[in-house]
Amino acid sequence: MTLPRSYLFVPGDRPERFAKALSSGADVVVLDLEDAVAPAGKSAARDAVADFLATTAAPERLVVRINDESTPWFNDDLALLRAHAARAVMLPKAERAASIDRISAACPGCRLLPLIESARGVLTAESIATASGVQRLVFGTIDYALDMGLQGALADTVGLDAAAARLALASRAAGIAAPVAGVTVAIDDEAQLRADLTRALAHGFAAKLCIHPKQIAAVHALLAPSADELRWAERVLAAADSAAGAAVQLDGRMVDKPVIERARRIVQRAH
């Protein structure tokens, strides 16, 4: 499947919202069994997710966020994965490759999305990224900030930069897809959403977690190349094609292999 740009969370104990979430325009819907569900509702949420996995016509657009392995619900969540063949799984509090291996064993062939939410997770990101089945890393910015005790006006920007860079580097070195940026909790603040995603893009991220459908359009718009970028890319590719491998200049600048590759990636993003 085409790599998702947006991942929309929906509480696992609100099955009446599942189909609506799929029709929201989000590339992927995350059926959440973790933070969005109170302890007393875990079993009912698991049953609702199981029913939806068994009946939906779009299983490839669903991710199940299970509870982490330190909780009493982890083994039951693994049983759900075994019984209903989920296509993709998000593991919160990911800190070691062995945790990823346990999910792979329970759900062979699943696309795995480790959620990095702690200092330990960041420092082991390289081994997590190379674990079998991992499609891309996800940055859990809120829990990471809590774990690190980030404070002050720059906590949500500068405070996250080192970890974001490390996740992007680990992903690139492992040859997996670029990572997913964390949530923006200000649902009605599109300027903040854009600022958060712009900073993530500067680190090499290529998707974002969403907590409300109204965030999706802005995320997709920002991830798409601008009209000027696309025109430039098309001109570069046209010039390169006409040169048939010879050196070529465009607008007074040499068009070399990295420039051509960048232009190709812009066109791919546009489509």
At residue 79, the pLDDT reads 95
Beta 248-250 vs 253-255: how paired, if at all? Answer: antiparallel
Look at residue 191 and give its three-state secondary structure: helix
At residue 73, the pLDDT reads 98
At residue 98, the pLDDT reads 95
Token pair belonging to 85: 């063949």
Helix axes 74-84, 97-106, angle to 10 degrees: 40
Beta strands in the chain (DSSP E): 6-11, 28-32, 62-65, 88-91, 111-116, 138-139, 180-181, 207-210, 248-250, 253-255
d(CA 215, CA 238): 35
* Alpha-carbon distances, residue 62 vs 32, 143, 269 (angstroms): 10, 23, 22
At residue 245, the pLDDT reads 67
At residue 212, the pLDDT reads 97
DSSP state of 231: H
**Partner residues linked to 110 by β-bridges:** none
Domains by residue range for the chain, with CATH: 6-223 (3.20.20.60), 227-270 (no CATH)
On whether the pTM is more than 0.95, the answer is no
For the chain of 271 residues, list the mean pLDDT of each consecutive stretch of 10. Answer: 91 97 97 97 97 94 97 97 92 97 94 98 98 97 98 96 98 98 97 97 97 97 87 85 77 84 84 76
d(CA 94, CA 119): 11
At residue 49, the pLDDT reads 97
* Alpha-carbon distances, residue 185 vs 35, 209, 212, 270 (angstroms): 14, 10, 9, 27
